[in-house]
A = this chain, B = another copy of it.
């Protein structure tokens, strides 16, 4: 959790592979070991596995070269993944800002900003792009329990850019929607199945159901590398269960009885039917997602 956010996990995994083999005397054996090890770090975000696959393919494509050259190629590949992520986020921002109107009030959940990517962000990239185009927008940030990425990271990123930001608790969104205070919801994604079902931070499915009832557009912003076309639907996405003390404690202080049982799924799955569109660097994907995803 020193590094989080699907795109950033991908970038970090790429550099991790390079660092893991840099001093290796047995390159391909260590490559396999390092990739296997890194793949156990987090189960849900697709980009982690995507980056590991990219690094592996790159190494095997140059198998006949000297080890020193392959290592150099792997470093260059990691650097390219980093630079491409920055460009991808800018493109997502640009495409997504087409969906944002002047005076929109946008709700976001968790942190899909510069702190979750190489730079700029996915969901927040759309917000930053709209802001830089001088659209007047107001952003509500869900604090996002238990790890409070919204309160700690998203609020900080938005305020730093001078964007009108209001922090709310996760359970307040429905009330705001019923008062007509939310025009759009934009979130990031950790893994998108071939049919558009989307795993993202716990609470995302909750929000999607609320937008469905209140007839509010619900957008997912993510690079194409977050899409896992080998997975047909969200049912096949592994949801990481995290430590109970993330819920029982805040910092070092207990906020609940120490012995209480806890459920702490880090993600949930939003069925594609609740998603208005998926904003990628290849454009805005519309329904049916199975087709638009394949095309992208």
Q: Which of B148, B168, B206, B255 contacts A262 (CB under 8 A)?
A: B168
Verify A143–B255 contact, CB threshold 8 A: yes
A190→B170 CA distance, assembly (Å): 21
B174 touches A248 (CB 8 A): no
A206 partner residues in chain B, CB cutoff 8 A = 171, 173-175, 206, 210
Chain B residues in 8 Å Cβ range of A172: 202-203, 263-265, 268
Chain B residues whose C-beta falls within 8 Å of the C-beta of A171 in the assembled complex: 142, 144-145, 170-171, 202-203, 206
A176 x B263 contact (CB < 8 A)? yes
Q: Which listed residue, B251, B262, B265, B268, touches A166 by the CB 8 Å rule? A: B262
Chain B residues lying within 8 Å of A202, measured Cβ to Cβ, are 169, 171-172, 175
**Copies assembled:** 2
Contact check, A257 vs B145: say whether CB atoms are below 8 A apart. Answer: no
Q: How far is the CA of A175 from the CA of B205 in the complex (A)?
A: 7
Please report the C-alpha to C-alpha distance between residue A164 and residue B261 in the assembled complex, in whole angstroms: 8
Judging by beta carbons under 8 Å apart, are A143 and B145 in contact?
A: yes
Question: Is A60 at the interface (CB under 8 A from chain B)?
Answer: no
Chain A, interface size category, equals: 35 or more
- The 8 Å CB contact of A165, one of B165, B253, B261, is B261
- Among B152, B168, B174, B210, the residue within 8 A (CB) of A263 is B168
Could you give, for residues 115-158 of chain A, a 1 whenever the CB lies within 8 Å of some chain B CB and a 0 otherwise?
00000000000000000000000001111111010011001100
Please name the residue on chain B nearest to A250 by beta carbon: B250
The docked-state distance in angstroms from the alpha carbon of A34 to that of B133 is 56
The answer to whether A257 touches B169 (Cβ under 8 A) is no
Chain B residues with Cβ under 8 A from A146's Cβ?
A: 169
- Residue A247 CB within 8 A of the other chain: yes
Bound-complex Cα distance A38 to B262 (A)? 39
A161-188 toward B: CB 8 Å interface, digit per residue (1/0)?
Answer: 0001111111111111010000000000
Q: Are B167 and A248 in contact (CB under 8 A)?
A: yes
Q: Is A256 an interface residue, CB under 8 A from the partner?
A: yes
Candidates B144, B205, B247, B260; contact of A174 at CB < 8 Å? B205
Q: List 18 A-B contacts (CB under 8 A).
A: A143-B145, A143-B256, A145-B170, A148-B255, A151-B260, A152-B255, A159-B259, A164-B261, A166-B261, A166-B263, A167-B262, A169-B202, A171-B171, A174-B205, A176-B263, A178-B268, A206-B210, A209-B209
Assuming A167-B263, A168-B264, what are 8 further A-B pairs, CB within 8 angstroms? Answer: A151-B255, A151-B256, A155-B260, A156-B257, A167-B247, A171-B203, A172-B203, A175-B205
